[in-house]
Amino acid sequence: MNTAALTAQPVASPHAHGGNSVTRTMFRVQMALVPATLYGFWLFGWPAFFLWLLTILSCLGFEALSLKLMGVTRIKRTLFDGSALLTGWLLAMTLPPWAPWWVAVLGGFIAIVIGKQVFGGVGQNVFNPAMVARVALLVSFPLPLTQWVSPLPMSAGATPDFVASLRIFLTSLPVPDAMTSATLLGHAKTELARGIDLGQALGAGPALSLIGMRAGSFGESAALLILCGGLYLLITRVITWHAPLAVLAGVAIPAAIAHGVDPGRFLSVEAHLLSGALVLGAFFIATDYVTSPNTASGQIVFGLGIGFLTWVIRSFGGYPEGMAFAVLLMNALTPVIDRFVKPRVLGRDRKGKPLDIPENT
Amino acid sequence: MSDTGTNYGEIVKNGLWEQNVVFAQMLALCPLMAVTTSGTNGLGMGLATTAVLVCANVLVSLIRQVVSAQVRIPVFIVLIATLVTIVDMAMNAWLHELYKVLGLFIALIVVNCAILGRSESFAVKNGVAASAVDGLAMGLGFTGALVLLGLVREFLGSGTLFAQASQLLGPAFSFLEVKIPGYGGALLMILPPGAFAALGFLLAGKRLIDRRLAEREAARAAVAAA
């Protein structure tokens, strides 16, 4: 997405400005995230809210700092185009809800400075900034990044109040064991390592994750609300169906085959589709304009690659969830995809030869 | 070029800063990324490379009149390989702990582009003394870069500074070893992506310093002209 092209004023009569802008696109994506985020606040309480807020503030802060260092004159305009805010928001959606404050600050630094601004700012980055930060944090700090708190709805008695939540957020003490719980994918991986059949290990996991009453990040717990947000983006034409559907298919097809062959070893299609960051990734990450291919068929290749790699990492890798790794790998392949999947040039066939049109006589 | 006309100050300045192997020429990145997981490893690798670099430059400079241009590369490589083997065996004998860490990368000094690069671009055109000084300056510049990157990665990645320095330099240097209490470290910085990110920031820092120096120089020139 090129800011200059989108904000250029039409110079002569046959052009009409559609009113679209970076800010409007970013705003719509944020609107689509609101329901799942609010649900996350209700589910995980004040610590989750603090984490969300600080991640976004950290992203905005580092964006402003980078712009200042780069000598950009209109800092405010670029800062509030919503792209840094959205990066922070998406990053917060993938973090454990009770992660300590420094995770948020460091995540903002990695996402904005290393993931985005060193490449030249909005529209220039090779990798999705939120996923860069997510992977860097996970690799660097395996312990705080894999402590998933059990959902404690705000209405329940045991929920920490405002002050206690602030203490949880700021002291970065480990969450008491009684409050933690494994995610579905993590649980499946541990039980498999212990040699226990998946059929026994998982009870009502997949059905529960649809309404989100289970451990996981914001984006993981409320798959259904994320899906609603994704459909809103489809209807408002912020995204097209190619990449999301390809991601879901890329996971579902190998999962269905493998589960059909050996249900004790491989998770079912529903478990794959409804857990982890899959829905969030399919609708909000894989559709990132900057880091995905430009053509519709390219996006299908890109999405299938993400889905398949996610399934491979989940099924055979060392980490229980592989969405972020898969996205980064396919981001790296995006220029290659764009090189081989090109739109047909007008007046030429797919191979670039001029169409054989009879001369008008 | 006669040795009397050689500007040694310029050679040293080039080696340490202007033409620094890592920060200006961007050579020898493979050993740089691989061994700089700690400051001590960087120091050991840097010193070993410096030793090879000085000897190789001196030998190449000595035989430069005898070797014809067509066969110079194989001859230089044989020389460098011999020197590397000597260093490799010496480290195995006397610095065995460090040798176990650096291991393969000592042998790989032979394909370090910086060494053949200096033979090709400097030693083959200059006298023995100048070549020795150039090898030393380039080697120390490389060592400096290795230690700096090693320290940055070690500090961020495992929360220590110069861990196990006493094993390399003797017990007298154990005061160098620092451990930051209560910090476990970000594992990513020890892994290769952390090395690339840290090197990128160091390069940006060097460019910034160079630009500031050039601006100051320009301002001074403007004052002098006015």
A141 vs B200: CB contact, 8 Å cut-off?
Answer: no
User: What pLDDT digit, counting tens, does each position of A140-192 carry?
Assistant: 888 778 777 777 665 555 566 777 777 777 775 555 555 566 676 777 777 66
A140 touching chain B per CB within 8 A: yes
N-terminal to C-terminal alpha carbon distance within chain B: 38
Kindly report the average pLDDT of chain B as a whole number: 86
The Cα of A191 is separated from the nearest Cα of chain B by a number of Å equal to 26
The Cα of B187 is separated from the nearest Cα of chain A by a number of Å equal to 4
Give the model's confidence band at B130: pLDDT under 50 very low, under 70 low, under 90 confident, else very high: very high
* Residues in chain A closer than 8 A to B186 (CB atoms): 106, 140-141
**A1-5, A6-10, A157-161, A325-329: range with lowest mean pLDDT:** A1-5
- Helix count and strand count (H, E) for chain B: 10, 2
Average pLDDT over residues B102-110: 81
Name the residue in chain A with its Cα closest to that of B197: A114
Give the model's confidence band at A201: pLDDT under 50 very low, under 70 low, under 90 confident, else very high: low
> Which three-class secondary structure state does DSSP give residue B184?
coil
* Residues in chain B closer than 8 A to A136 (CB atoms): 188, 193
pTM passes above 0.90: no
Residue A353: other Cβ atoms inside 10 A: 8
Q: In this predicted complex, what is the ipTM?
A: 0.79
Name the residue in chain B with its Cα closest to that of A115: B197
**Is residue A1 scored above 50 in pLDDT?**
no
From the list B187, B197, B200, which residue is nearest A139 (CB)? B187
Average pLDDT over residues A36-41: 87
B133 touching chain A per CB within 8 A: no
Ramachandran assignment for A288, one of left (phi > 0), alpha (psi -120 to 50 degrees), beta (any other): beta
Sign for the pseudo-dihedral over CA of B160, B162, B168, B174: negative
Nearest to B7 by CA among B121, B137, B139, B114: B137
Residue A247's pLDDT is 94
A114 vs B186: CB contact, 8 Å cut-off?
Answer: no
> Which of B158, B187, B189, B201 to probe the A interface (max A CBs under 10 A)?
B187
Residue A5's pLDDT is 53
The Cα of A128 is separated from the nearest Cα of chain B by a number of Å equal to 16
Length of chain B equals 226
The Cα of B145 is separated from the nearest Cα of chain A by a number of Å equal to 21
Give the model's confidence band at B108: pLDDT under 50 very low, under 70 low, under 90 confident, else very high: confident
> Which of A106, A139, A325 to probe the B interface (max B CBs under 10 A)?
A139
B188 vs A140: CB contact, 8 Å cut-off?
Answer: yes
**Partners of A348 in beta bridges:** A354
Element of type H or E holding B161: strand B160-161
B187 vs A142: CB contact, 8 Å cut-off?
Answer: yes
B108 touching chain A per CB within 8 A: no
* Residues in chain A closer than 8 A to B188 (CB atoms): 136, 139-140
Name the residue in chain A with its Cα closest to that of B198: A114
A329 touching chain B per CB within 8 A: no
* Residues in chain A closer than 8 A to B197 (CB atoms): 114
Residue type for B93, please? A
User: What pLDDT digit, counting tens, does each position of B38-68 carry?
Assistant: 888 888 889 889 999 999 999 999 998 898 8
**Is residue B164 scored above 80 in pLDDT?**
no
**A28-37, A40-49, A267-276: range with lowest mean pLDDT:** A267-276
B187 touching chain A per CB within 8 A: yes
> Could you tell me which residue, A199 or A164, shows the higher pLDDT?
A164
B203 touching chain A per CB within 8 A: no
**A170-184, A193-207, B40-54, B129-143: range with lowest mean pLDDT:** A193-207
> Could you tell me which residue, B94 or A6, shows the higher pLDDT?
B94
User: What pLDDT digit, counting tens, does each position of B111-120 carry?
Assistant: 888 888 888 8
**Is residue A76 scored above 90 in pLDDT?**
no
Name the residue in chain A with its Cα closest to that of B194: A136
A139 vs B200: CB contact, 8 Å cut-off?
Answer: no
Name the residue in chain A with its Cα closest to that of B184: A141
Q: Six-digit token pair at A143? A: 């312990």
User: What pLDDT digit, counting tens, does each position of A123-140 carry?
Assistant: 888 999 999 999 999 888
A174 touching chain B per CB within 8 A: no
B197 vs A139: CB contact, 8 Å cut-off?
Answer: no
Task: Please name the residues between 69 and 128 in chain A that touch chain B, using a CB distance below 8 Å.
Answer: 106, 114, 118
Q: Six-digit token pair at B97? A: 């702990």
Residue A283's pLDDT is 92
Kindly report the average pLDDT of chain A as a whole number: 81
Residue A220's pLDDT is 73
The Cα of A137 is separated from the nearest Cα of chain B by a number of Å equal to 8
A139 vs B188: CB contact, 8 Å cut-off?
Answer: yes
From the list B187, B191, B197, which residue is nearest A114 (CB)? B197
User: What pLDDT digit, counting tens, does each position of A233-290 carry?
Assistant: 999 988 999 999 999 999 999 999 998 888 878 888 888 887 768 888 899 999 988 8
Give a three-class secondary structure readout of chain A: CCHHHHHCCCCCCCCCCCCCCHHHHHHHHHHHHHHHHHHHHHHHCHHHHHHHHHHHHHHHHHHHHHHHHHCCCCHHHHHCCCHHHHHHHHHHHHCCCCCCHHHHHHHHHHHHHHCCHHHCCCCCCCCCHHHHHHHHHHHHCCCHHHCCECCCCCCCCCCCCHHHHHHHHHHCCCCCHHHECCCHHHHHHHHHHCCCCHHHHCCCHHHHHHHCCCCCCHHHHCHHHHHHHHHHHHHCCCCCCHHHHHHHHHHHHHHHHHHHHCCCCCCCHHHHHHCCCHHHHHHHHCCCCCCCCCCHHHHHHHHHHHHHHHHHHHHHCCCCCCHHHHHHHHHHHHHHHHHHCCCCCCCECCCCCECCCCCCC
Name the residue in chain B with its Cα closest to that of A114: B197
- Looking at residue B160, the DSSP 8-state letter turns out to be E
* Residues in chain A closer than 8 A to B184 (CB atoms): 141
**A40-44, B143-147, B194-198: range with lowest mean pLDDT:** A40-44
> Which of A132, A140, A172 to probe the B interface (max B CBs under 10 A)?
A140
The Cα of B201 is separated from the nearest Cα of chain A by a number of Å equal to 10
